[in-house]
Structure 1
Amino acid sequence: MVEISGEDIVESVRAALQYISYYHTPDYLSHLAAAYEREQSASAKAAIGQILESSRLAATGQRPMCQDTGMVTVFARLGQSCVIKSDKSLAELINEGTRLAYMDAGNPLRASMVDDPIYERKNTRDNTPAITHIDVGLGNTLEILVAAKGGGSENKARFANLNPSTSVADWVVETVETLGAGWCPPGVIGVGVGGTAEKAMQMAKKACMGEIDMSDLLARGPRDKIEELRIELYERINNLGIGAQGLGGLTTVVDVKVATYPTHAASKPVAIMPQCAANRHAKITLDGSGPAFLDPPNLSAWPVIDGSASSGQFRRVNVDTMTPEEMASWKTGETLLLSGRILTGRDAAHKRIADILARGESLPVDLKGRVIYYVGPVDPVGNEAVGPAGPTTSTRMDKFTDMMLDQGIVSMIGKAERGPKTVEDIARHKATYLIAVGGAAVLVSKAIRSSRLIAFEDLGMEAIREFEVEDMPVTVAVDAAGTSIHVTGPQMWKGKAVPVLA
């Protein structure tokens, strides 16, 4: 009988969560680097390059690769020959490791969990509880697959109970086409087929954390029908033309994983789970000899990217002095380097502004002529002005956009597409919408020179702040005429992807 101490489990989970906050897996890096080399869409190539460049900065500085440091999901498998020495349950030990990881003074991670989920939605402040799934089987070890799932990709999970004769491949491709870019592609799509509704969803989530091996699969060819399905889905999804960040391009997914389980004769439960560009997960095994730690990857795994935002090849914009005429000259897909003062604000801040205006009261900040960035940054450490500060999904702000434009906002920065009505509102106000690259949070934070609290301090990371930025890289997503690259980009690149080996 193997004894595993509770303290070892806590320390192993803590260390693993810190590790995955700043290290991409080598398999993802190699496939993303290959996608960068073959990408022909200039906007998508620039986005992939920023993700890779930011990933290197995260690894070398040991700071979170994404400001959304995720909801902790754990798949634990306890060998029947193991005994856990603790007065706490395995789930409680995992929560303690999560708490310590997210409150680490040297690399604090953003707490995003709220309780209760319906009414108060009050932040738990330490990112607990984790979502833990425990299985018991043969063996004398404790295996823990730990992941940190961002809200943008988690929100794009989909499920359907298909007619048994319905094509799984067709449903998956048609569904992915409706997801938009809020899940931060290029990433991985996990597919779960069979079992029950909850079984299919769990299989899809666990599948997308498997080793990325699509390049090997394409090189050797499929060995069974599941591998044939993976290749079909990989090629058909990439042929949608969605591309990196939804800008239109050749690579939307670097791999597709499929897991199956027996199901009822009348059912065909199918779930898809997108895995974003952060792709944070790791597996640790405890055998009673002490905590389990992961070896740091070799930094040579990170490619050197030419043409970064510091190369001076993009248009520079001073947001403090820009004119409507200057903004009207911006073209969708163009990369800008912003300097000057921008405001921050996301869901909770927008809702509070709406409530203040509904009461007929004055706002605590003048929005006229300002640019607002949808961001909830990680807390700074050392001499940082702000921690990693990548964008959040903009569609959640759509219902507030016309109100903000009426108050004088001239441009917004976020990630992913805007709804058709919001695009119309932007055009009517002759405003613009810009995107920062989801997955490039460290790179963005390097452009932030100072941060000052403006309003709603009680909202924590959702408070309104004023950032002073210098050469912050963004891409024009909706121009002043109402042209959206999230519409024109995929239209341009649809059907142009080819198999990697072709």
Structure 2
Amino acid sequence: MTTLIREEDFIQSIADSLQFISYYHPVDYIKALGKAYELEESEAAKDAIAQILTNSRMCAEGHRPICQDTGIVVVFVKVGMNVRFETNKSIEELVNEGVRQAYTNPLNPLRASILSDPAGARKNTKDNTPAVVHINLVPGNTVSIDIAAKGGGSENKSKFVMLNPSDSIVDWVLKTVPTMGAGWCPPGMLGIGIGGSAEKAMLLAKESLMQPIDMAELKQRGPQNRAEELRIEIYDKVNALGIGAQGLGGLSTVLDVKIMDYPTHAASLPVAMIPNCAATRHTHFVLTGEGPATFIPPSLSDWPQVTWSPSANSRHVNLDEITAEEVHSWKPGDTLLLSGKLLTGRDAAHKRIQDLLNQGLPLPEGLDFKGRFIYYVGPVDPVGQEVVGPAGPTTATRMDKFTGMMLEKTGLLGMIGKAERGPTAIEEIKKHRSVYLIAVGGAAYLVAKAIRASRVVAFPELGMEAVYEFTVENMPVTVAVDSQGDSVHQSGPKQWQGKFKGISVVSA
């Protein structure tokens, strides 16, 4: 029997699914993260997980994005060979129209992050198109779709290697995961693809991340094949690395490890690894010709009863009156609540600033970093009475190359982002007696609630990458690198290494 899929049903299903996953975590992720919260013994990691869980529930209630990075859309479409489409458009065009409608929805606009001409002008397409679409023809008379919105912070940590057939996959994973840092916003998932060819392994890794979290069930029933044995071994040993939530050190770095494999050449062992972040966003639906897909919201009872609140030991900081001496008193792991005015800026703005300074030109009128803090962020557009949409931190290591320039030539006092800083940036922070603070990646809506006012200061043509001035009230951050160059992302994991079920693992 032939099934007729109408153009408008396909497009609406894509658009509705992307809106749905922008504010609803998969229930399996919420339950696994709730369990990780219960078991976590690291105070810093537990606080980070509490922020992620609180943010998740807030987004479910408010229908606003879990993360300011609303991702690049990745779609796996399995088309039954007895399906006929009522359209003159290609499947890619149908997907892209759904993406366009989802990301420009005025009730919940999603951040447009996709740039054309990636090796040149890098111009924003304004509607987050095109998506990355994978199409398979399969037996049957339905269209099955797995769809995800993949954040850049986790996607940037993707890894691939061609191992020798006799090499250990586990050893490679344990050597590689610590090099990924915390920019992928753990705790999340690792998708691993084994076999095939180079591109097939990467595709397997990505597709594996569409599967539900079931590590607890797998451990309870026991592995039934080599892939499941590998999943358990990698899960245990990665958690024993002690990286923890946000890289602060703790017991939970991964909530699950997914593996898909494929036959490969006798001389080859291709292995790909792609992480999913704390803003895990994906769903599955099937089109049967009976209209658009429906998406059933999870019940609020699915969320654990966890509500984040600032630690009683948090220090209140007035950014409008802050002094270098106060900054020098902070130590790694200190929790702060920031109030006052700060500036924002990320990749494109830093490049503009660098170009101006290299040409001996002044910064735009009104843009003055002296004695101030910069927040690495690209916010979502506001709706209703919001002054800004979800506005969580972006990965700070991308700004490492600009750190020396900013500290030396602009008088910048401190920086706020997510994840660790590299050795060059840490050396510059130490040299200039600056400081680096982190906000929790995956808690963008929660962070945005601390922003009381927002205005564009410079480079408005950059859109979400423009320089804003935020007025914040009690914005929660943690000292990650102090003015002496000591990093919590180095000390935290060392403290917790080997404490997950007593497994002894030495990371490279």
Shorter chain as denominator, the TM-score bin is: over 0.9
* CA deviation string 1:419-439 (max 9, x = no partner): 112111101111100011110
Secondary structure at 1:66 match in 2: coil
Amino acid at match of 1:402: G
* CA deviation string 1:337-387 (max 9, x = no partner): 100000000001001001111111111211100000000000000000100
Q: Summarize the alignment of residues 199-348 of structure 1 with structure 2, pairs less than 5 Å apart.
A: 199-309=200-310, 312-348=312-348
* CA deviation string 1:257-298 (max 9, x = no partner): 010000111111100010011110000100000000210100
Counterpart in the other structure of 2:506: none
Counterpart in the other structure of 2:184: 183
- Contact 1:23 1:55 (8 Å CA) reproduced: yes
Counterpart in the other structure of 1:378: 380
- Contact 1:238 1:497 (8 Å CA) reproduced: yes
Counterpart in the other structure of 2:389: 387
Amino acid at match of 2:482: D
TM-score (normalised: structure 2) = 0.97
Partners of 2:349 and 2:496 lie apart in 1 by: 36
Q: Choose from 378, 400, 411 the match for 2:402.
A: 400
Secondary structure at 1:18 match in 2: helix
Amino acid at match of 2:377: V
Partners of 2:66 and 2:227 lie apart in 1 by: 32
Counterpart in the other structure of 2:422: 419
Runs of 4+ in structure 1 over 6 Å off: none
Partners of 1:111 and 1:499 lie apart in 2 by: 44
Partners of 1:211 and 1:306 lie apart in 2 by: 25
The gaps in structure 1 that reach 5 residues or longer are none
Counterpart in the other structure of 2:437: 434
TM-score (normalised: structure 1) = 0.98
- Contact 2:51 2:308 (8 Å CA) reproduced: no
Partners of 2:313 and 2:81 lie apart in 1 by: 60
Counterpart in the other structure of 2:473: 470
Q: Summarize the alignment of residues 56-135 of structure 1 with structure 2, pairs less than 5 Å apart.
A: 56-135=57-136
Partners of 2:171 and 2:143 lie apart in 1 by: 38
- Contact 1:4 1:287 (8 Å CA) reproduced: yes
Q: Which moved more, 1:356-365 or 1:16-25?
A: 356-365
Partners of 1:442 and 1:335 lie apart in 2 by: 19
Cα RMSD, aligned residues only: 1.1
* CA deviation string 1:395-432 (max 9, x = no partner): 11001001111111111000111111211110111110
Counterpart in the other structure of 1:497: 500
- Contact 1:235 1:499 (8 Å CA) reproduced: no
Residue 312 of structure 1: how far off its partner (Å) = 4.8
Residue 41 of structure 1: how far off its partner (Å) = 1.1
Residue 328 of structure 1: how far off its partner (Å) = 1.6
Partners of 2:303 and 2:391 lie apart in 1 by: 21
Counterpart in the other structure of 2:446: 443
Residue 303 of structure 1: how far off its partner (Å) = 1.6
Secondary structure at 2:330 match in 1: coil
Secondary structure at 1:300 match in 2: helix
Partners of 2:464 and 2:180 lie apart in 1 by: 26
Partners of 1:373 and 1:118 lie apart in 2 by: 26
Partners of 2:181 and 2:431 lie apart in 1 by: 23
Partners of 1:409 and 1:209 lie apart in 2 by: 42
- Contact 2:313 2:335 (8 Å CA) reproduced: no
Counterpart in the other structure of 2:459: 456
Residue 461 of structure 1: how far off its partner (Å) = 0.5
Amino acid at match of 2:104: M
Partners of 2:83 and 2:405 lie apart in 1 by: 59
* CA deviation string 1:466-489 (max 9, x = no partner): 000001011110011110011111
Secondary structure at 1:409 match in 2: coil
Partners of 2:362 and 2:117 lie apart in 1 by: 31
Question: 1:48 and 2:49 equivalent?
Answer: yes
- Contact 2:193 2:261 (8 Å CA) reproduced: yes
* CA deviation string 1:74-129 (max 9, x = no partner): 00000111111101011110000000000000000000111111101100000000
Partners of 2:486 and 2:89 lie apart in 1 by: 56
Partners of 2:91 and 2:456 lie apart in 1 by: 40
Residue 307 of structure 1: how far off its partner (Å) = 4.7
Amino acid at match of 2:346: R
- Contact 1:393 1:416 (8 Å CA) reproduced: yes
Amino acid at match of 1:60: E
Partners of 1:352 and 1:409 lie apart in 2 by: 16
Secondary structure at 2:252 match in 1: coil
- Contact 2:66 2:279 (8 Å CA) reproduced: yes
Secondary structure at 1:263 match in 2: coil
Question: 1:481 and 2:484 equivalent?
Answer: yes
The gaps in structure 2 that reach 5 residues or longer are 504-508
Tell me the percent identity. Answer: 60
Partners of 2:316 and 2:162 lie apart in 1 by: 50
Partners of 1:170 and 1:209 lie apart in 2 by: 25
Partners of 2:294 and 2:415 lie apart in 1 by: 42
- Contact 1:43 1:334 (8 Å CA) reproduced: no
Partners of 2:9 and 2:186 lie apart in 1 by: 35
* CA deviation string 1:141-200 (max 9, x = no partner): 101101000101111111111100111111112111211011110000000001111110
Amino acid at match of 1:213: D
Residue 499 of structure 1: how far off its partner (Å) = 8.1
* CA deviation string 1:223-261 (max 9, x = no partner): 222111100000010011111111111110000001000
Q: Which moved more, 1:317-326 or 1:272-281?
A: 317-326
Amino acid at match of 1:376: G
Partners of 1:350 and 1:91 lie apart in 2 by: 34
Amino acid at match of 1:326: E
Partners of 1:120 and 1:301 lie apart in 2 by: 45
Residue 304 of structure 1: how far off its partner (Å) = 2.2
Amino acid at match of 1:171: W
Partners of 2:474 and 2:302 lie apart in 1 by: 27
Partners of 1:177 and 1:358 lie apart in 2 by: 35
* CA deviation string 1:30-88 (max 9, x = no partner): 11011111111111111111000111111100000000000000000001111111010
